Amino acid sequence: MALAERVAAVRGAISAAAERAGRPAGSVRLMAAVKTRPPSEIQALASEGVVLIGENRVQEGVEHLEAIPLEVRRNLEVHFIGRLQANKARKALLAFRAIDSLDSLSLAERLSRIAREEGLERDVMIEVNLGEESQKGGVAAGDLLHLARAVQPLPGLRLAGIMGVPPYGENPEASRPFFRRLRELFDEVRRAIPEAGDFGQLSMGMSHDFVVAVEEGATMVRIGTALFGPRRAP
């Protein structure tokens, strides 16, 4: 299948799932998770109208951007979705429009300080680690509200939502209870911090389970394999 067909298939599946859930198809944004993919594939995606990009590594993301011509690059909205090391915070903040994987107050404070120094305003999302899997980033569900309250007033940052990755299960239905829980947590934060006016994004769902995520309320899905085909060995 060619890229254009895979994009159309993913978009079709998102719209159908949104419709089943009684939501407008336009309420779900498609993010391409581009780790290990060459810049040429990102450009090809952009020409299909997929301009929301998720990067897992700061250096790889910077290299992607440098290799893409300016007229394409300026249409891209690149978010960071990987684990952010403190010493890469400035580079990430300068290169990317948003950090979707915030998971500690010390990192948030550092990002806020750098954003002020650089005269930037950046969206951040808090990553929730529902399975409490130690190899993944993210805060435990029980720490989310506390962190959200602490991040919300930090200057230079806008609290935009939450992101979650459920424990991997072969069957997409295994993700459903985790997505439901993420949706509940999302609603709790929204209720508890009404002054976070930009808080509206719920990023959940990947290639194998994005349909279930949309049914459960995702406003953003992060898709790699289903758009590009299987990842090559690094």
Residues that bind ligand PLP (CB under 6 A): 33, 35, 56, 81, 165, 206-207, 222-226
Q: Which long-range contacts (CB under 8 A, 24 or more apart) does 23-29 make?
A: 23/214, 27/219, 28/214, 28/218, 28/219, 28/220, 28/221, 29/219, 29/220, 29/221
Judged by beta carbon, residue 152 or residue 203, the one nearer ligand PLP is 203
Please, what is the minimum distance in Å from the beta carbon of residue 223 to ligand PLP?
5
Judged by beta carbon, residue 122 or residue 222, the one nearer ligand PLP is 222
Q: From CA 160, how far away is CA 102, in angstroms rounded?
A: 11
Q: From CA 29, how far away is CA 210, in angstroms rounded?
A: 11
Q: Would you give the DSSP letter of residue 233?
A: P
Judged by beta carbon, residue 196 or residue 223, the one nearer ligand PLP is 223
Please, what is the minimum distance in Å from the beta carbon of residue 170 to ligand PLP?
12
Please, what is the minimum distance in Å from the beta carbon of residue 171 to ligand PLP?
14
Judged by beta carbon, residue 18 or residue 33, the one nearer ligand PLP is 33
What secondary structure does DSSP assign to 136-180, as a single string? S-SB-HHHHHHHHHHHTT-TTEEEEEEEE-PPP-SSGGGGHHHHH
Please, what is the minimum distance in Å from the beta carbon of residue 153 to ligand PLP?
27
